[in-house]
Amino acid sequence: MQERLQKILSQAGIASRRESETIIQDGRVAVNGVVVTELGTKADPDTDTITVDGKALAIEEKRVCIVLYKPVGYMTTMKDPEGRPIVTDLLKGVQERVYPIGRLDYNTEGLLLLTNDGALANMLMHPSHEVDKGYLVRVGGKVSQSQMQRLAEGVQLEDGMTAPAKVLPVSESENNSWISITIHEGRYRQVRRMCEAVGLSVVRLKRARYDFLVIGDMKPGDYRFLEPEEVTRLKRKTVPTTGRAPRKTGIIAKRGSAPAKGGANHRKR
């Protein structure tokens, strides 16, 4: 069956569909020995010989999904022109060629999913699905009720208004405050920009939850493979939101509560 090349590459675990388009346009893909750069080109992986950088596509590679505690100081890319460490450097012993689902910026730590299942990655990142992502944010100084309210209701950024978020106070000291922010969008540096928009300076940012997956007692650099039932649960959770009731914001005035811990056992590097 013929399919678009970027979809075939994505399903083979080469890269996400969007990144696969760039790979094609860069002339790195050939079909039956002929280099292809047109994004609309179709091929049949069962009958055509498809190569990327001269290597034949391995369609039957085992599908895996990995949860990693990304440390600060790693790039969420497959390569970095400046030579900085990338997240896959942490996956010692992983044979499959996986790539990140979404991104965490260089100075952000926490839960990151990686996979070679292009269909799963595209489903989780598609804007029609509302996958909750929970962050713990330490900011300088104290956070006012009005600032929390603005974050919860949505703030105006240069790329548009953010969707309502769930915002909870966690703890407060003389110099810093911790708050919890849960969003379902995936804009570039969104949580940092939201905080800056209401006058908060982010000192530390950690993604603690992705849908039902939590960081638990994982340490920076730890990773584990998701169990098949966890992958199935992720797929079931990514249901199109058409017809859903609008999300409600959530603010709790009580301060000093600690974030809940939990999650499956993890395997260290």
Any idea which residues carry the catalytic annotation?
A: 105
Q: Does residue 221 sit in helix, strand or coil?
A: coil
Asked whether the beta carbons of 172 and 178 are under 8 A apart, the reply is yes
Of 110, 135, 115, the C-alpha closest to 218 is 110
Asked whether the beta carbons of 211 and 132 are under 8 A apart, the reply is yes
Task: Report the distance separating Cα 173 and Cα 158, nearest Å.
Answer: 32
Asked whether the beta carbons of 62 and 13 are under 8 A apart, the reply is no
Residues 6+ apart with CB under 8 A from 146: none
Task: Report the distance separating Cα 68 and Cα 59, nearest Å.
Answer: 25
* DSSP bridge partners of 68: 112, 223
Tokens 């969707």, residue located? 163
Strands 202-210 and 176-183: unpaired
DSSP state of 26: T
Task: Report the distance separating Cα 97 and Cα 220, nearest Å.
Answer: 21
